[in-house]
Amino acid sequence: MSTTVISHGAADHDSHDHHHHHETFLTKYVFSQDHKMIAKQFLITGIIMAVFAMILSILFRIQLAWPDAEFPILEVFLGKWAEGGRIKADFFLSLVTIHGTMMVFFVLTAGLSGTFSNLLIPYQIGARDMASPLMNMLSYWFFFVACVIMIASFFVESGPASAGWTIYPPLSAVPTAISGSGLGMTLWLASMVLFIASQVLGGTNYVSTILNMRTKGMDLWKMPLTIWAFFLTAIVGLLSFPVLVSAVVLLIFDRSAGTSFYLSDLVVGGQILPNEGGSPILFQHLFWFLGHPEVYIVVMPALGLTSEVISTNARKPIFGYHAMVYSLVGITVLSFIVWGHHMFVTGMSPFLGGVFMITTLIIAVPSAVKAFNYIATLWRGNIRFTPAMLFAIGMVSFFVSGGVTGIFLGNAALDINLHDTYFVVAHFHLVMGSASIFGMLCGVYHWYPKMFGRMMDERLGYLHFWVTFVGAYMVFFPMHFMGIDGVPRRYYSFTEFPFMEKWVSVNILVTWAAIIAALGQVAFLWNFFSSIWLGKRAPQNPWNSNTLEWTTPVEHFHGNWPGEIPAVYRWPYDYSKPGHDEDFIPQHIPYSQTMSSNQLHDFEGDEEAIRIQKAWNTENNREETIIH
Q: How far apart are CA 213 and CA 222, in angstroms?
A: 14
Buried b (16+ CB within 10 A) or exposed e, 248-285: bebbbebbeeebbbbbeebeeeeeeeebeebebeebbb
**Backbone dihedral region for residue 315 (phi beyond 0: left; psi -120 to 50: alpha; all else: beta):** left
If you count them, how many residues does the chain have? 628
Note the pLDDT of residue 556.
87
DSSP 3-state assignment of 279? coil
Confidence band, pLDDT 50/70/90 cuts, at residue 602 = confident
Confidence band, pLDDT 50/70/90 cuts, at residue 2 = very low
In this structure, are residues 140 and 325 in contact, taking their beta carbons and an 8 Å threshold? no
Confidence band, pLDDT 50/70/90 cuts, at residue 603 = confident
Q: What is the mean pLDDT of residues 85-91?
A: 92
Of all helices (H) and strands (E), which one includes residue 458?
helix 458-484
Q: How far apart are CA 321 and CA 304, in angstroms?
A: 12
pLDDT in tens, 326-379: 999 999 999 999 999 999 999 888 899 999 999 999 999 999 999 999 999 999
Q: What is the mean pLDDT of residues 573-596?
A: 92
Nearest to 303 by CA among 356, 231, 251, 357: 231
Axis-axis angle for helices 387-410, 364-378 (nearest 10): 150
Of all helices (H) and strands (E), which one includes residue 267?
strand 267-268
pLDDT in tens, 76-85: 999 999 999 9
Note the pLDDT of residue 77.
92
Note the pLDDT of residue 14.
40
Q: How far apart are CA 457 and CA 103, in angstroms?
A: 26
Q: How far is CA 340 from CA 170, 298, 337, 343, in A?
A: 20, 19, 8, 5
Is 70 exceeded by the pLDDT of residue 3? no
Q: What is the mean pLDDT of residues 35-63?
A: 96
pLDDT in tens, 270-321: 889 998 999 999 999 999 999 999 999 999 999 999 999 999 999 999 999 9
Q: How far apart are CA 305 and CA 301, in angstroms?
A: 6
Q: How far apart are CA 277 and CA 297, in angstroms?
A: 34
Per-position DSSP letters for 52-99, written without gaps between them: HHHHHHHHHHHHHHSTT---HHHHHHHGGGGGGGS--HHHHHHHHHHH
Q: How far is CA 59 from CA 21, 94, 425, in A?
A: 47, 11, 17
Cα torsion 542, 548, 549, 554: sign: positive
Q: What residue type is 327 in one-letter code? A: S
Pairing of strands 271-272, 267-268: antiparallel
Q: How far apart are CA 330 and CA 314, in angstroms?
A: 26
Beta bridge partners of 272: 267
Nearest to 108 by CA among 474, 431, 453, 570: 431
**Which residues, 6+ apart, have CB-to-CB distance to 405 below 8 Å?**
423, 426, 427, 430, 431, 480
